Amino acid sequence: MLPKGGLKHATEGISYLFAQGRGKAASSVLRYYGFFHELFDTLSERSGIFSIGYSADPSRADITEAQAELPRQTAKGLPRPGKWLDVGCGMGGPACLLASENPDVEITGINITPHHVEEANRRAKEQGLADRVSFRLGDALAMPLPDSSLDGLYAIETAFHYNGKARFIQEAMRILKPGGAFAVADIAWGGSGEGLTERIRMAPIRWTMASPELFTENQWCENLAAAGFTQIACEDISRETFGLLGRWKERAVAHLPELRQKYPEALLRMMIAGFEYYAGRPEKIPVRYILVRARKDPGAARRLPGALSIDTRAAPDIHKKTVLANTNIRRPLYGIFNRRHNP
């Protein structure tokens, strides 16, 4: 059973996807948000920011401020002044926050959920930002934007939904201007992603998150390099993000009376138990939270959509010189809470 309004929102989105020829591939994401929209909106206290958040001191963080900090961390390397794209913009909270704090920036957001786009545009208008912030229906794998038209692109906690992240990366290369910046904050698989055992371990996580394809950190780096991006850097921010799970448990408990009117008690208890379990056992979390940054080479020629694709299962190891040549990839470290310090 979907919460009130959830079926309508999911149906609108699925109709859009089928019109784009991608209904079968991505409709599970629409059903996911049709069901969980009210849960996310309630837990985020109507801020329009649905992400987990970021804090240097997660055990004592304020969740509202931590949620605002993740967009700031993600976008801090994007060109200013500039025109940015928010891919998978949700309800528009991150874009409105960033625009309000960066008056020399214009932001366009795209999303496959019509209801979210409508609410995001309402938010921008109410905050007096509609002259610099706008939202429209759009697919991350076929962005409705011209070539070399934007200075920066970011995606916050949405790319794990994409069924074809290599295509997303190619589209980012296409729409960014030479020298443009790419930034993604996302959930990545913590293992190798290879072999039957890994696929079995990954299956329930993918199902729970409506994630048809979970990249590892290496797969992000490999695909960015293959598409022609340079200055590729990947930072593990699991401690600063998953470290907030204890705080999320507290927020969920505080909102239980409201949530009980919309969701089954068993689901809510399972969610709270999950927050509590992983907050006390971070080493058990099978995924990692990473921040990926890259640049389109200032001299890059336009690449035709679909011109590049690599089989990440057969790709060479990211540490080999054949992959590292001319890409400036910083070597990753492993372990969920291994902190990466950029040189």
- Which residues are identified as catalytic? 157
Centroid of chain to Cα 301: 27
Give the Cα separation of 300 and 282 in Å (integer).
Answer: 41
Return d(Cα 252, Cα 269) in angstroms, integer: 10
What angle in degrees, to the nearest 10, is found between the helix axes of 217-227 and 165-175? 40
**Which amino acid is it at 215?**
F
User: Taking Cα atoms as reference points, which of 41, 109, 47 lies closest to residue 75?
Assistant: 109
Tally Cβ neighbours within 10 Å of residue 162. Answer: 25
Tell me if 155 sits within 8 A of 87, measured CB to CB: yes
CA-CA-CA-CA dihedral for 129, 133, 136, 142, to nearest 10: -170
- Strands ordered across the beta sheet of 133-137: 133-137, 105-111, 82-87, 150-156, 176-189, 287-296, 229-236
b/e per residue 195-220 (b: at least 16 CB within 10 A): eeeeeeebeebeeebbbbbbbbbbbb
If you count DSSP H runs as helices and E runs as strands, how many of each does the chain have, helices first? 13, 7
Please name which of 178, 86, 174 lies closest in space to residue 133, comparing C-alpha atoms. 86
